[in-house]
Structures are given as C-alpha cells and as structure tokens.
C-alpha cells in the first residue's frame, strides 16, 4: 500500500512540475543543431510569438508535425512567429537523417542530455508550447494530429493579434 501511495505521489509531483498555460517560458539555452558552438536562449525571442516544439527522429507523429510547423512558420514569420525545434535524439546522425526527409527552415537545437526537456517536464512526444509576446506559455500541445495543426494555427493567429 505504501508503494502505491508513493507511486501516486511521485506521479502527481511530476505532473505538477510540467509547464502549463500561464507559466513563464523556462529560461533555458541549448546548442544549435547545425552550429553546436552557438547556444540559443529561448528568452531571446521575447517580443515574438514562439512555438517551442520537442521532436525526435523516432517520433511517428513528428513526421506530421514538422511539415505542418514549417508551413505555419513560413506563413506567419513575417507577422512575428518564431518556431524552435528541440531535438531529443541522442545521436546527431539520427536527426540529420530525419531532416533530409523533412527539411525545415526554423531554428533547431539539440537536447540529447534532456536539460531543456527537464526544464519543461515534457510529458509526451511531440510536445509543443505556444508562448505569447510577454514570454507566457498560453497553450500546450501533447501529440500532434491534423486537428492539432488546425487548433495551433487558430491559437497563433490570436496571439499574433495581441500586443506585447
């Protein structure tokens, strides 16, 4: 019985730490995937609407989310949208193989050591966090479907219309 209670308490404590709507964007940096010497601070995008997307080569829904995010990035970047892809592959070669099939133009960072994922307490793959111009997480998406893409596009449009 104690083991069950401890398991439930542990699960609840992890869920309570997960980044949720209303939370500030975690102040983390990660190395760019293509330029490992260049760290990218997520806070550097303050003033823009930002979508932080956790993805990996082994993530089946990422094969749908990455092209959809690229389309949204191209459509809305002139209005202030920034997208950052956080790659969870341990081996850089796995990410490179994926990106040869699914090319994107938004910035990508490596998180093989899970530092960024721990800061967000990522619960599923892919996971995405839509952040307003003030640096507040407004929407969280776990998993990705065509319905997710439609909801995300509507949310982006709402946030782009809001002031900073």
d(CA 76, CA 85): 16
0.75 exceeded by pTM:
yes
In this prediction, residues 29-49 reach a mean pLDDT of 88
Domains annotated for the chain, with CATH where assigned, are: 25-161 (3.40.30.10)
Write the Ramachandran bin of 159: left for phi over 0, alpha for psi from -120 to 50, otherwise beta.
alpha
pLDDT in tens, 50-101: 999 999 999 999 999 999 999 999 999 999 999 999 999 999 999 999 999 9
Quick: pLDDT tens for 110-162: 998 899 999 999 999 999 999 999 999 999 999 999 999 999 999 999 999 99
Work out the angle between the directed axes of helices 62-76 and 146-161 (0-180°, nearest 10): 30
What's the pLDDT band for 164 if we cut at 50, 70, 90? Answer: low
């Amino acid at each position: 019985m104690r083991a069950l209670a401890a398991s439930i308490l542990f699960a609840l404590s992890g869920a309570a730490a997960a980044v949720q709507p209303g939370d500030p964007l975690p102040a983390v940096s990660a190395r760019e995937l293509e330029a490992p010497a260049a760290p990218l601070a997520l806070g550097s995008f303050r003033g823009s609407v930002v979508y932080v997307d956790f993805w990996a080569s082994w993530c089946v829904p990422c094969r749908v989310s990455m092209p959809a995010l690229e389309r949204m990035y191209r459509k809305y970047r002139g209005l202030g949208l920034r997208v950052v892809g956080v790659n969870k592959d341990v081996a850089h070669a796995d990410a490179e193989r994926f990106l040869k099939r699914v090319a994107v133009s938004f910035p990508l960072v490596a998180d093989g050591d899970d530092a960024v994922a721990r800061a967000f307490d990522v619960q599923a793959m892919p996971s995405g966090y839509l952040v307003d111009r003030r640096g507040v997480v407004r929407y969280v998406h776990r998993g990705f479907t065509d319905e997710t893409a439609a909801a995300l596009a509507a949310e982006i449009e709402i946030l782009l219309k809001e002031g900073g």
